[in-house]
A and B are shown apart, each in its own frame.
Chain A
């Protein structure tokens, strides 16, 4: 174990982890939506928001109809915190902001969020996950069960939406490392993983280097984005014995090691 401090911190469920990752803002979401909704769509959303503001428990009835009423395309926005968001994600996030603002006690808000996720289809679940940073001030870590459920799926849309700023702030050290490994495993790009540069540690590097070694031993590809972490912990690469694989008697293993370490060189060149 590399970091006793963070490990002991992880036993406290209410810990918030330091992260410089920027989170989406309500103004950013609303602005991006305004630019893309037709008058009819904007009218529907205004009505829905008024309805939810007046009676927050109505959100469950409104939530499934968002996509049909506002659209489902990618949300065009120069705002990097909204990268990959769709129009329905954004509209649903604003409805959740309204629920949070309607004065529900935090535990009731958490239950509403969990119900929307529990009874949501894949698109609704993705929207709930993406909206969590906007609710963080009220929710604290109360929505963590939603994130951990999402991280148990193999649906890359759900996993990718789960590893945003909220997860970066609230997952404990073990869960954070497992989330990174899960992304590598199912093919969610690490470039979109919030808080990775702040929270990556030597233990995560060891796990990723072992994963790379297992892939090389099988003659398989190693995703290049693991070098986002491994480059900062070169001792993990040495300890895992990746370089020794370059002289393996098995040709497939030698070739896989060459390809994997070439990914490393490319990443270094890109940084340089």
Chain B
């Protein structure tokens, strides 16, 4: 099983996770820029974070045979903090980078006026930079938030096929598919979605424009939920090709719209000087 996790926050994960993910078949992933649990209090905090998503984290992933891409954006939660909003002025500099395959995560947390402004401005940036968009849907009042999200995207003029609407469930999947956007599901240990509910949704709505991610981060989450969903699909009678469609071909098709999805990138050096045993990640962690 080859797996592309279209949404996972590796900055918060350990090298054990990278090893387990590679063993499970994960060969590529997208790390969306998001909230770190501890709120940021200044723009410099974002700059260092974005630099890490474009520098250290892809290097770390490459040591374990995994291609790392990212999305860049101001998340909705911190869009409410005036100390953080100025980062919007710096986004164009980062959106020009090679490994940025979408603008995101954008969208709503509490559906405030400030969130509206940040969302609209970043949709404009996506159009300017010719990048797809990754949208987070709110955990509270999800259905209303998802409906409003779809309206804002339509008004902004971003083509639906260039948008992922993420963290969907049984109540929000239909409206997203009707709008023509990509529908993404974060399979979690016990909250947003589980692998068996996921299989039922795939049986009902088909495999087209469907994405499954682990959204693993600093909270209780599981970076192998993609694999577990693939297994649940096979047990339910889906074919190997069906699983490959959902776990590999679909995310590749979506993010390739950026023109920057260079899989098996020659730039990632994993030669003799950077093998597992010789890697500065492993050695650095032990010796520094």
Is A72 a contact of B267 with CB atoms below 8 Å? yes
Bound: A122/B280 CA distance, A = 16
Is A154 a contact of B284 with CB atoms below 8 Å? yes
Within 8 A of A (CB), among B49-94: 51, 54-56, 58-59, 93
B99 at the interface (CB under 8 A from A): yes
Is A186 a contact of B284 with CB atoms below 8 Å? yes
A187 at the interface (CB under 8 A from B): yes
Within 8 A of A (CB), among B94-127: 96-99
Is A188 a contact of B273 with CB atoms below 8 Å? yes
In terms of DSSP, what is the predominant structure of the interface of chain A? Answer: helix
Q: In the complex, what's the smallest C-beta–C-beta distance from A96 to chain B, in angstroms? A: 17
Is B97 a contact of A121 with CB atoms below 8 Å? yes
Within 8 A of B (CB), among A184-205: 185-189
In the bound complex, residues from chain B placing their C-beta under 8 Å from that of A68 are: 98, 259-260
Q: In the complex, what's the smallest C-beta–C-beta distance from A121 to chain B, in angstroms? A: 4
Nearest to A160 among chain B residues (CB) is B273
In the bound complex, residues from chain B placing their C-beta under 8 Å from that of A156 are: 59, 269, 273-274, 280
* Category for how many chain A residues contact B: 20 to 34
Known: A86-B266, A186-B280. A122 touches B259 (CB 8 A): no
Bound: A155/B55 CA distance, A = 8
A residues with CB within 8 A of B:
61, 64-65, 67-68, 72-74, 86, 88, 119, 121-123, 125, 153-158, 160, 185-189
A-B contact list, 26 entries, CB within 8 Å: A64-B98, A65-B96, A67-B98, A68-B98, A68-B260, A72-B262, A72-B267, A74-B266, A86-B266, A121-B54, A122-B54, A122-B55, A153-B56, A154-B56, A154-B280, A154-B288, A155-B59, A156-B59, A156-B273, A156-B274, A160-B273, A185-B280, A185-B287, A186-B280, A187-B278, A187-B280
Q: Which 10 A-B pairs have the closest CB atoms?
A: A186-B280, A121-B54, A64-B96, A187-B278, A122-B55, A154-B280, A154-B284, A155-B59, A121-B97, A187-B273
